[in-house]
Structure 1
């Protein structure tokens, strides 16, 4: 009986159609801004803000601040499991997604964000660096460079001793606004992106933030970080 209030409260929060739509939109594990969740639920920004405040208080979502923006994600895997279990009771209708324009697709795939690599490629690089044990997530939205990582960056051509740490440390986790996952920012992210340009792995477009990967770049991304071009291009668009 002692658990009943928690069950009732969670059921009440999930039971509202607008809040349920917001939670379902977060099932892919990515963080999303309130405006996007309002659109998914078909409600106004003010109404969405009220719903999100209730979901936050109920522990069904968490919030992350990136600059002036706030991004929401599910409160944990247990919330996703509960939603998926409930969704399995009834058949789900197919979801229709709007296909972005070609220029927007290129921007989302690979771009520069304040001089560090972002987009789907930037997130893949961050994941590759972690999978190889070169970076590890740390507190306060930081990445720590492991000894193996420092050696790898040095071999690639970065002088780690000369890269000065900022107030937010050598490398930090920057939430990607299209992928809703983290890419590598901070002094390391900036210098690493510059090195990739110098080595000819990537090219920056002259009049936009779009980044193009060269054939040599794809070869090296696959060899060094396990990033396969066609597998990455085949991934489902985030929005």
Structure 2
């Protein structure tokens, strides 16, 4: 990912996580590149990446393994010898999750646990032992899965809920600040190296002016700025001080859209 700009502070946080062999917990506004860091590190170091995108219904166990009892029951309905042999071996119905695959991989890897704060409050606590010991037990097969190489675990949170202290103690923490103007120029140029300087400066001025509006429900993020610039470049639209073309690219709620009209 040549277009990902890694700040010195974030580079240091990754380095500290590797030295201590603890998960790196990232917080920051949506669109500041928390999730993309895992892709960047994996690509830069040519390591396999295992992704676990957490949902509100996610359970900690799903990141380790899943026993498909329904598939096994369904297969047991068929009398063929091949089907019966498959049913007898419970291993055929065990699927490893992202952490499980990383532990089983003989090589070092990167694990992304994305938006951990979406799940139940007990979700992080249910992973404490596995993150400490880098191993877990599968009772259905009576197997202990132990990491051969301790993976670099990157965890993201959007601050939707507080994370337990016991979990936080086991992590290296880094807050990704929203990019200042000069840093944002680097990001834009990494994505659109041939952009006209005047257009970029006008777009940045308008973008940061918008972000200063206190009444906005959701301030536009880096990803929305990049989308907006892409549209401007594609259409050849010019910017003036009295209008915001393609405002729906920057504003993502009816209230914010009305604010810009006023």
TM-score range for the pair, normalised by the shorter chain length: under 0.3
What TM-score results when the alignment is normalised by the length of structure 2? 0.23
Higher relative contact order (CA 8 A, sep 6+): 2
Larger radius of gyration: 2
| TM-score, with length taken from structure 1 | 0.24
